[in-house]
């Protein structure tokens, strides 16, 4: 990589570390979802304290290595070929942190020398000097990709070349092993060597393009990987050590930009300006690839210095000083800058009226038994007045559906002094939950309303909010504290929490109406289409596909793995891109039956073109239609519906596919908007999209309640890039990519839906996404029948068409029946959704998930039968059935796997029959 090719820089001049600014949090967040919850708490604390200590004392490389050796001596964990303590240190991010502390330098103009990175445990002092232009490849590997690496080493300040500088290189072979790990295939110092620059500061030698490899998982480090549910992969890299007399040395690793693990290196060593590009090399018999890597060294006596103190606040950095938070937590802050921390701690130590009860513990039977004893005690042994206590208990019973106990609660409440009118209010009043549209009452002393006094109404509201979300708004708390002292508030809290748990432990099956009305899913003034309307639309789409997506184009799209981008404008002109959108934005406003018709017929012509169509029209356009503000719709929908712009949705990540809530991508609030950092994987239309709906964590510790949806304009998004276009088994030509967001600024007006309510935005369209996508497999089944029916009636064996063979007839009958059954399922659900706009019927999650589950699996079976019926011809790429089979498999994986769909259906039943 040439010296003028630099990564985006922070305001302080530093290149953003790929795992910075919140390096410690990145190490902690690398723990996978299968990590034991208690272990997660322990390791989070351990890593944070370890990193704080390292920063506070500015731990040196020598001190850190002394610690590594000491641990090895204690446990005898090291071997001649494996430094286990070193590996465990890497897994905890310690070596990268020590390296950053030791080598962070800038000069007067704010420039940096070539970035350092970790040494790693594989350096050898015995590597030989080799002639410039030589090769470090001593034992060629059949899978190795030879490359000529060259560049210039220059002075950071003067920019002049440095003659006689030494560049020491070592790397693993193409099998992922270093020389001493692989004595059967490599002699000592294979892929190792030292070179000196000439008078122009130039060096050049032959090496391999590196290969990614896994750290061993059979030792202590392996157990740590397993416990933390982390992958052991290191991205491909070349180790370098650059030295010159009078200059500060640099030890680093460089990484091919196209390696899939550069974004989640298991030892956290990748930095943006260490990413390199290999390019084709022509006319060189010794190398197929070319790598230019220029190096800048900082003079030892030059005007450079370690970066000290906290970095200035930037989109990349944490404004808080990187010091230990509180060594002993004294009562007074030692410095003004640490005062906010001490204020928070003082607030935690102060007497609190709310007791944060961990109700999940009460699912343990032993704890529950003790809790029941406690329940009896608080009913009789509190200073809270009997009327307030019994009112709260009765209200908890109502809110938990324990109506069969009402006779008992009502009698006790009446005896305690609650009026009959007040009991009617307790029984019928809507709940004052957080976010409720019902205004919170402001009770007054002596006031009576609905049969309840002011204090009783305050307790009712408090009980509602405690029961609904174990959280109480400030105004409600202040209302209670007008009447009750701190001790009484604590007793009230305990009473409400205790009886909530008691009610929730009583087994009773109650069907709850958790379904959603579908009327909000349609454009204004929507009228469900008639069957005649749908038939006319289907014929129109068929005519379009016959003309615009002939079999030759479908084959070419698959073979070249390239989407025919002229198709977007043709789709727009035909009106297919806004099937569910308001006519005011250029849409047709025809609903989901119509959308399924278009999706089926396009997929019948080409599965991959159909998939890209759905990603645009359903995942992007329909999401904007459902959740966008009027301003957002006016800005983005016209261009998307006309086909001028391409749309996509970015949700999945390397480690967050079906478990989308575990996404790592973050959105940090800054002036005027948010800065997005992270990657998205398997994004359909990602390489081509102009407008992408992106999900990111605005509150990383809040799980599903900390995700927000954003509208990202890729053309204006500095820091946005496509890391790679993916080479898939099927759906080739439906361009799919890995998207990289490096400090991408998104204005606050581009938040889609509510802040931290991105999961709601996602779920708003998820059922409908499953429904519309289920029409894709229908088109593939149609395409299979289109090919195999004529073939089996023309192909003769033993003097007769093979379609006259009963075994063949049976397969054809099964194929047709599977298609018709799947079609009936999908269109029945689509019709119900459309008609719900006027009938107030509901969208059932299990129906939408069931439609795509059934259609996807049947499509794979039908396509496989088509290949089988066509015999040898079916196995040839000249006919489409092989492509159809590869395309069909995607629908069992994408948009939620078949296994997840089954789980979704099962959970939907569980929601309908809730055990209380």
Q: What pLDDT is stored for residue 95 in this prediction? A: 82
Integer Cα distance of 68 and 860 in angstroms: 54
Nearby residues of 625 by Cβ (< 8 Å), 6 or more positions away: 523, 580, 581, 582, 585, 587, 633, 637
Output the CA–CA distances (angstroms, integers) from residue 548 to 553, 564, 566, 597, 605, in the order listed.
8, 11, 10, 17, 10
- Split the chain (916 residues) into runs of 10 and give each run's mean pLDDT: 32 38 81 89 88 78 79 67 78 82 51 76 82 93 93 91 93 88 89 93 94 81 87 89 87 89 84 87 92 89 42 34 34 66 52 36 46 56 82 83 62 84 85 54 60 88 78 80 84 80 46 40 80 89 91 93 93 91 87 95 96 94 90 93 93 76 88 93 92 92 86 91 90 93 94 86 81 96 93 88 92 94 94 76 82 95 95 89 95 88 86 61
Residue 769 is a catalytic residue: yes
| Residue 157 and residue 112 in contact, taking contact as beta carbons nearer than 8 Å | no
The phi, psi pair for 296, rounded to 5°, reads -120, 125
The phi, psi pair for 152, rounded to 5°, reads -130, 135
Integer Cα distance of 439 and 476 in angstroms: 11
| Residue 833 and residue 895 in contact, taking contact as beta carbons nearer than 8 Å | no
Instruction: Give the three-state DSSP class for 234.
Output: strand
Q: What pLDDT is stored for residue 94 in this prediction? A: 85
**Residues paired with residue 82 on neighbouring β-strands, in sequence order:** 79
| Residue 189 and residue 138 in contact, taking contact as beta carbons nearer than 8 Å | yes
The count of other CB atoms within 10 Å of the CB of residue 36 is 13
What is the CA 124 to chain-centroid distance, rounded? 39
Integer Cα distance of 53 and 55 in angstroms: 5
Max Cα-Cα span within the chain: 101
H/E stretch holding 416 reads helix 406-416
The phi, psi pair for 295, rounded to 5°, reads -125, 140
Instruction: Give the three-state DSSP class for 401.
Output: coil
pLDDT digits (tens, 9 = 90+) for 534-572: 988 998 899 899 889 999 999 999 999 999 999 999 999
Pairing state of beta strands 250-256 and 275-276?
Answer: parallel
Instruction: Give the three-state DSSP class for 578.
Output: helix
**Residues paired with residue 745 on neighbouring β-strands, in sequence order:** 675
Integer Cα distance of 251 and 244 in angstroms: 12
Residue for token pair 């500095």: 718
Residues belonging to the binding site for FAD are: 649-658, 682-684, 795, 806, 868-872, 897-899
Q: Angle 420-428/406-416 helices, nearest 10 degrees?
A: 140
Q: Which of 84, 488, 601, 769 is catalytic?
A: 769
All domains of the chain in start order, with CATH: 106-297 (2.60.130.10), 358-504 (1.20.1290.10), 531-761 (2.40.110.10), 768-915 (1.20.140.10)
pLDDT digits (tens, 9 = 90+) for 131-166: 999 999 999 999 999 999 999 999 988 899 999 999
DSSP readout, 461-502? HHHHHHHHHS---HHHHHHHHTT--HHHHHHHHHHHHHHHHH
Instruction: Give the three-state DSSP class for 162.
Output: coil
- Our CA angle for 711, 717, 722, nearest 5°, is 95
Q: What pLDDT is stored for residue 434 in this prediction? A: 54
Residues belonging to the binding site for substrate are: 658, 704-705, 767-770, 895-896
Q: What pLDDT is stored for residue 356 in this prediction? A: 34
Instruction: Give the three-state DSSP class for 93.
Output: coil
Q: What pLDDT is stored for residue 641 in this prediction? A: 93
3-state class percentages of the chain: helix first, strand second, coil last, to nearest 5 = 45, 15, 40
- Own/partner pairs, 719-725, CB within 8 angstroms, 24+ separation: 719/8, 719/743, 719/744, 719/745, 720/744, 722/686, 722/687, 723/257, 723/258, 723/263, 723/679, 724/258, 724/260, 725/561, 725/687
- Our CA angle for 775, 777, 780, nearest 5°, is 115
Integer Cα distance of 204 and 198 in angstroms: 10
Peptide bond into 21 cis (omega under 30): yes
| Residue 745 and residue 673 in contact, taking contact as beta carbons nearer than 8 Å | yes
What is the CA 30 to chain-centroid distance, rounded? 12
Instruction: Give the three-state DSSP class for 98.
Output: helix
Q: Angle 592-605/607-614 helices, nearest 10 degrees?
A: 150
Question: Residue 695's closest CA among 722, 723, 665?
Answer: 665
The count of other CB atoms within 10 Å of the CB of residue 742 is 20
Integer Cα distance of 171 and 173 in angstroms: 7
| Residue 371 and residue 503 in contact, taking contact as beta carbons nearer than 8 Å | no
Please report, in angstroms and rounded to a whole number, the separation of the first and last CA atoms in the chain: 63
H/E stretch holding 904 reads helix 898-912
Integer Cα distance of 807 and 824 in angstroms: 26
The phi, psi pair for 37, rounded to 5°, reads -55, -40
Residues belonging to the binding site are: 649-658, 682-684, 704-705, 767-770, 795, 806, 868-872, 895-899
DSSP readout, 272-296? GGGEE--EE--S-TT-SEEEE--EE
Q: Residue 515: how many CA atoms within 13 Å on its side-chain side?
A: 19
């Amino acid at each position: 990589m040439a010296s003028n090719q630099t990564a985006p820089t922070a305001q302080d001049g530093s290149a953003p570390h790929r795992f910075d600014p919140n390096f410690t949090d990145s190490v902690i967040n690398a723990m996978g979802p299968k990590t034991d919850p208690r272990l997660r708490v322990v390791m989070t604390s351990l890593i944070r304290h370890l990193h704080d200590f390292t920063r506070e004392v500015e731990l040196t490389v020598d001190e850190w290595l002394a610690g590594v050796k000491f641990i090895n001596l204690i446990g005898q964990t090291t071997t001649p070929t494996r430094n286990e303590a070193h590996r465990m240190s890497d897994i905890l991010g310690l070596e990268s942190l020590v390296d950053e502390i030791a080598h962070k330098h800038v000069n007067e103009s704010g420039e940096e020398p070539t970035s350092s990175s970790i040494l790693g445990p594989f350096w050898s002092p015995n590597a030989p000097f080799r002639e410039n232009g030589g090769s470090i490849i001593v034992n060629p590997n059949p899978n190795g990709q030879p490359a000529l690496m060259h560049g210039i080493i220059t002075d950071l300040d003067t920019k002049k070349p440095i003659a006689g500088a030494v560049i020491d290189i070592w790397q693993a072979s193409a099998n992922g092993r270093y020389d001493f790990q692989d004595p059967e295939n490599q002699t000592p110092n294979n892929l190792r060597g030292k070179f000196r620059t000439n008078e122009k500061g130039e060096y050049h030698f032959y090496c391999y393009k590196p290969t990614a490899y896994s750290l061993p998982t059979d030792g202590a480090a392996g157990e740590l990987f397993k416990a933390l549910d982390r992958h052991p992969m290191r991205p491909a890299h070349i180790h370098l050590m650059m030295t010159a007399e009078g200059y500060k040395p640099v030890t680093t690793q460089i990484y091919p930009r196209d390696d899939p693990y550069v974004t989640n290196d298991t030892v956290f060593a990748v930095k943006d300006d260490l990413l390199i590009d290999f390019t084709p090399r022509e006319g060189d018999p010794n190398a197929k690839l070319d790598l230019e890597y220029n190096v800048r060294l900082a003079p030892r006596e030059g005007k450079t210095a370690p970066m000290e103190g906290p970095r200035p606040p930037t989109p990349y950095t944490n404004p808080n000083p990187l010091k230990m938070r509180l060594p002993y937590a004294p009562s007074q802050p030692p410095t003004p800058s640490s005062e906010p921390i001490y204020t928070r701690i003082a607030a935690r130590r102060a007497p609190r009226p709310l007791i944060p009860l961990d109700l999940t513990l009460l699912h343990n039977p032993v704890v529950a038994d003790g809790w029941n004893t406690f329940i009896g005690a608080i009913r009789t042994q509190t200073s809270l007045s009997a009327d307030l206590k019994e009112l709260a208990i009765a209200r908890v019973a109502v809110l938990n559906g324990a109506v069969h106990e009402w006779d008992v609660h009502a009698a006790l409440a009446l005896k305690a002094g609650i009026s009959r009118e007040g009991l009617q209010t307790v029984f019928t009043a809507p709940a004052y939950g957080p976010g409720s549209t019902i205004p919170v009452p402001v009770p007054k002393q002596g006031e009576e309303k609905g049969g309840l006094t002011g204090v009783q109404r305050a307790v009712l509201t408090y009980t509602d909010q405690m029961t609904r979300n174990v959280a109480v708004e400030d105004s409600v708390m202040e209302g209670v504290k007008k009447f009750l002292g701190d001790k009484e508030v604590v007793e009230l809290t305990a009473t409400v929490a205790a009886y909530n748990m008691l009610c929730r432990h009583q087994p009773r099956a109650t069907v709850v109406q958790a379904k959603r009305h579908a009327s909000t899913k349609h454009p204004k003034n929507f009228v469900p289409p008639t069957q005649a309307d749908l038939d006319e639309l289907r014929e129109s789409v068929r005519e379009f596909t016959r003309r615009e997506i002939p079999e030759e184009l479908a084959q070419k799209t698959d073979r070249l793995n390239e989407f025919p981008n002229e198709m977007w404008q043709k789709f727009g002109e035909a009106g297919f891109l806004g099937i569910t959108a308001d006519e005011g934005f250029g849409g047709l406003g025809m609903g989901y039956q119509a959308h399924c018709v278009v999706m089926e017929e396009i997929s019948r012509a080409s599965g991959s073109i159909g998939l890209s169509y759905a990603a645009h029209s359903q995942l992007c356009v329909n999401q904007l239609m459902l959740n966008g503000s009027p301003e957002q719709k006016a800005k983005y929908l016209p261009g998307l519906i006309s086909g001028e712009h391409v749309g996509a949705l970015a949700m999945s990540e390397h480690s967050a596919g079906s478990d989308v809530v575990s996404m790592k991508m973050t959105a940090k609030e800054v002036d005027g908007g948010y800065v997005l950092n992270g990657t998205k994987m398997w994004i359909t239309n990602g390489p081509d999209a102009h407008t992408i709906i992106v999900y990111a964590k605005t509150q990383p510790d809040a799980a599903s309640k900390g995700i927000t949806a954003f509208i990202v304009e890729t053309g204006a998004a500095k820091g946005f890039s496509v890391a790679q276009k993916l080479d898939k088994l099927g759906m080739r030509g439906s361009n799919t990519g890995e998207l990289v967001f490096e400090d991408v600024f998104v204005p606050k007006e581009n938040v889609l839906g509510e802040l931290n309510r991105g999961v709601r935005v996602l779920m708003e369209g998820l059922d409908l996404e499953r429904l519309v996508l289920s029409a894709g497999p229908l088109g593939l089944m149609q395409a299979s029948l289109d090919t195999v029916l004529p073939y089996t009636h023309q192909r003769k064996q033993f003097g007769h068409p093979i379609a006259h063979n009963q075994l063949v007839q049976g397969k054809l009958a099964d194929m047709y029946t599977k298609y018709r059954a799947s079609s009936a399922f999908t269109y029945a659900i689509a019709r119900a959704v459309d008609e719900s706009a006027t009938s107030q019927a509901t969208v059932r999650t299990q129906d939408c998930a069931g439609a795509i589950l059934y259609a996807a699996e049947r499509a794979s079976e039908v396509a496989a039968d088509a290949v089988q019926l066509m015999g040898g011809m079916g196995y040839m790429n000249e006919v489409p059935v092989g492509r159809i089979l590869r395309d069909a498999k995607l629908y069992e994986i994408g948009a939620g796997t078949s296994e997840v769909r089954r789980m979704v259906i099962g959970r939907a039943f569980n929601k309908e029959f809730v055990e209380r």
